[in-house]
Chain A
Amino acid sequence: MDLRIFEGSGKSPGEACSCGSRGGAGSRPGMTRRSFLRASVGAAGGMAAFAAAISPLRELEAGDVPNLDAFLQKHYKEMTEEEMEAALARIRERVEQRYHVRPEIRDIKPMDGVEFVYALNLSRCIGCRKCVHACVAENNQSRDPEIQYIRVIEMPRGTTDIEQGDHHYDRPRVPDENHYYMPVQCHQCANPPCTKVCPVEATWTEPDGITVVDYDWCIGCRYCEAACPYWARRFNFTEPRLASPEEIAKDPEIESKRLNPNMSYLSNRPRPKGVMEKCHFCLHRTREGRMPACLEVCPVGARKFGNVLDPESDVSNILRTKRVFVLKAELGTLPRFFYYFDERDPSAEDLPAMKHGGRTAPAGDENGGAS
């Protein structure tokens, strides 16, 4: 059919196609309209891509160019102790140069016989977002633009459908009586989709269950961000910005933008531009026995953390005795982050004395004061 359309123009085959000869036999026959368009579109596309690719060079500062040692730095798992020390020394120098703070940076290895698990009591969470900001302050996330690991979703009561949730809620007071609050952060999956898609193995799961990123190995392809079903990974589109002590001295209001000097290689050291980052259960704290920052700041005690291999730990008790669930269980990611509810006392709300103020409660009766 196509042939007929071409031939139906009434011209001879030669006239139809040798467009370049229209200008006369003497004009430049080498460049037909088609070849010109093809070449120019291709070249324009190529040049635009080239310009876009090299445009970050415009923002390059002298300190940003890696020296040969940094360029040849190996993958975290392949570094010897001396090489790690050299890498840490480079980071120390760079942080001091940039933020005028001498960091306490080290590489902390996982503890034997420890597997970390998080549990969160949804009956308690009030959605105050203190965990979000304590995490930011602890982990040296970029402040401008803002990167947050924890997303608190305000959910209508009666559903667990995340689609109905809203994490931009902006109320004068929380909690709202018609909603409950569900903080989501990295679930440190036992079957993580994010590490499988990494083309350079810059992210992996450590023996204590924490999925980490080697920020110096990450190439910033963001495959892991796309693979994560919990929206737990964040990308540094710009160089992370924090406040230096001088800036804070000028403006005490920005105290919370101060750099936290307690850092480790795999957790909260300042990230370079163009790499992924994520929650790492505050491994520079938890691998030394301490609690994560988000837990310690929680004003209602909704957050629980511990070693699931220890049968007497808080989280082991919760997994044994509470009704726990994981988010998007159907995906088979096997999260190490569990949600649970308190069981309600069904009689508590029906007690008329609760509302109108009666006499002494019968001894041993559990009444509604608990909630």
Chain B
Amino acid sequence: MSNGKAQHHGSQHGERSTGSVSAWLIGPAFVLLALLILFVIPTEEIPLVATPAVRAASLSTAPRRTPLGDPPVININGVDHRCNDCHSIIQPRDVPPDQLQQHKDVVLRHGMNNRCYNCHDEANRELLHTIDGTTTYTHSEKLCASCHGRMYRDWTRGAHGKTMGSWDPDNPAFHRLTCVQCHDPHSPMFDPIEPLPGPHTLRMGHPGSAHQAEVRAERNPLLQWSEREGTGGASSNGGHD
């Protein structure tokens, strides 16, 4: 081995002058090739998936609900009414909600709390009936606190609910949304909603996803590209990133 190697080196040394000439030829050839690639041969951009637009309304920061004020006013057939306009005359019995003659739009899904007078004050309908007295509609959280003590405690500390305006309690803009600005007091659980679109990064398609076929066909630009090219070589690109 050492013998052959020495000889090989020897031959290189002897032919250096001619070797460097060919190297000079190779250099410009590849510069030409590089320029060819750069300016002549067209490159095709891998198509990007059009990102679905998100409606501005779905990103609203306004509270979910506008609660009743004090005194509460409801609109019936285009006319504003106060509670006592009717209830100073009418005193309905305490019936289960499905037997109501009025207020049929109220959907009452509040667990075992299914009687009007649990929360509404029977004597004055413009007040709410708490565990130890009455409260106004603008301080309805006192009513909620009658049963949901721990939630109320968390809300006063900022662990439940939503703080808006500022993170600084000393800032005048700092305010907490009240219970009824998010929850409907008659059916406080939130209904499921439609989610906004997921990530549309370049590589898409989750192996376990139920929508994998659609995802791969529609959203994976690499797959679109490879299918159009007829190579099919990117079939393994469905992996998660």
Interface set of A (CB-CB < 8 Å, partner B): 2-3, 6, 13-14, 16-18, 20-21, 28-32, 35-36, 39-40, 43-44, 46-48, 50-51, 54-55, 57-58, 116, 121, 126-130, 132-134, 137, 143-146, 148, 151, 166-175, 237, 253-257, 286, 289-291, 296-301, 304-307, 310, 312-315, 317-318, 321-322, 340, 342-343, 345, 351, 353-354, 357-361, 363-371
CB–CB A28/B159 < 8 A: no
CB–CB B148/A51 < 8 A: no
CB distance from B124 to the nearest CB of A (A): 20
CB–CB B195/A171 < 8 A: yes
Q: Mark B205-224, 1 if CB is under 8 A from A, else 0.
A: 11011110001000000000
CB–CB A360/B158 < 8 A: no
CA distance A212 to B79 in the complex (A): 55
CB–CB B194/A291 < 8 A: no
CA distance A46 to B30 in the complex (A): 9
B82 at the interface (CB under 8 A from A): no
CA distance A343 to B160 in the complex (A): 12
Given the known interface contacts A144-B48, A299-B64, A317-B157, the answer about A168 and B199 at a Cβ–Cβ threshold of 8 Å is yes
CB–CB A51/B34 < 8 A: yes
CB–CB B4/A6 < 8 A: yes
**Which residues on the A side are within 8 Å of B19 (C-beta)?**
30-31, 35
- Give the contacting residue for A361; candidates B14, B53, B113; CB below 8 A: B113
CB–CB B3/A13 < 8 A: yes
CB–CB B7/A47 < 8 A: no
CB–CB B195/A174 < 8 A: yes
CA distance A253 to B31 in the complex (A): 48
CB–CB A134/B59 < 8 A: yes
Nearest opposing residue in chain A for B158, CB measure: A314
Nearest opposing residue in chain A for B208, CB measure: A166
Known contacts A129-B198, A145-B48, then 11 further A-B pairs from the complex at CB < 8 Å, ordered by chain A residue: A13-B7, A31-B22, A43-B27, A55-B38, A126-B193, A129-B197, A134-B59, A257-B53, A296-B164, A363-B146, A367-B111
**Which residues on the B side are within 8 Å of A290 (C-beta)?**
165-167, 173
Q: Mark B31-74, 1 if CB is under 8 A from A, else 0.
A: 10110011100000000111101111011110010000000000
Given the known interface contacts A256-B59, A286-B167, A313-B158, the answer about A301 and B177 at a Cβ–Cβ threshold of 8 Å is yes
Q: Mark B169-202, 1 if CB is under 8 A from A, else 0.
A: 1010100010000100000111011111111111
19 contacts between A and B (CB under 8 A): A30-B16, A47-B30, A145-B48, A169-B195, A254-B53, A291-B165, A296-B164, A301-B177, A307-B167, A314-B158, A342-B160, A351-B111, A351-B112, A354-B112, A358-B114, A361-B147, A363-B147, A364-B147, A367-B112
CB distance from A312 to the nearest CB of B (A): 6
CB–CB B159/A175 < 8 A: no
CB–CB A367/B113 < 8 A: yes
**Which residues on the A side are within 8 Å of B16 (C-beta)?**
30
B118 at the interface (CB under 8 A from A): yes
Q: Sorted from nearest, which 3 A-B pairs have the closest CB atoms?
A: A314-B158, A30-B18, A301-B162
Nearest opposing residue in chain B for A351, CB measure: B112
CB distance from A265 to the nearest CB of B (A): 22
Nearest opposing residue in chain B for A135, CB measure: B59
B8 at the interface (CB under 8 A from A): yes
CB–CB A256/B158 < 8 A: no
CA distance A166 to B208 in the complex (A): 9
- Give the contacting residue for B149; candidates A127, A357, A366; CB below 8 A: A366
- Give the contacting residue for B113; candidates A305, A340, A345, A369; CB below 8 A: A369
Given the known interface contacts A144-B48, A296-B164, A299-B193, the answer about A255 and B38 at a Cβ–Cβ threshold of 8 Å is no
CB–CB B167/A314 < 8 A: yes
CA distance A317 to B159 in the complex (A): 7
**Which residues on the A side are within 8 Å of B27 (C-beta)?**
43
Given the known interface contacts A296-B164, A369-B113, the answer about A318 and B204 at a Cβ–Cβ threshold of 8 Å is no
CB–CB A358/B112 < 8 A: yes
Given the known interface contacts A54-B38, A133-B54, A317-B159, the answer about A170 and B215 at a Cβ–Cβ threshold of 8 Å is yes
**Which residues on the B side are within 8 Å of A51 (C-beta)?**
34, 37-38
Most chain B beta-carbon contacts within 10 A, residue among A17, A36, A48, A148: A17
CA distance A300 to B63 in the complex (A): 10
CB–CB A133/B196 < 8 A: yes
Most chain A beta-carbon contacts within 10 A, residue among B39, B112, B167, B195: B167
CA distance A54 to B38 in the complex (A): 8
CB–CB B168/A307 < 8 A: yes
Given the known interface contacts A30-B17, A170-B211, A366-B150, the answer about A151 and B165 at a Cβ–Cβ threshold of 8 Å is no
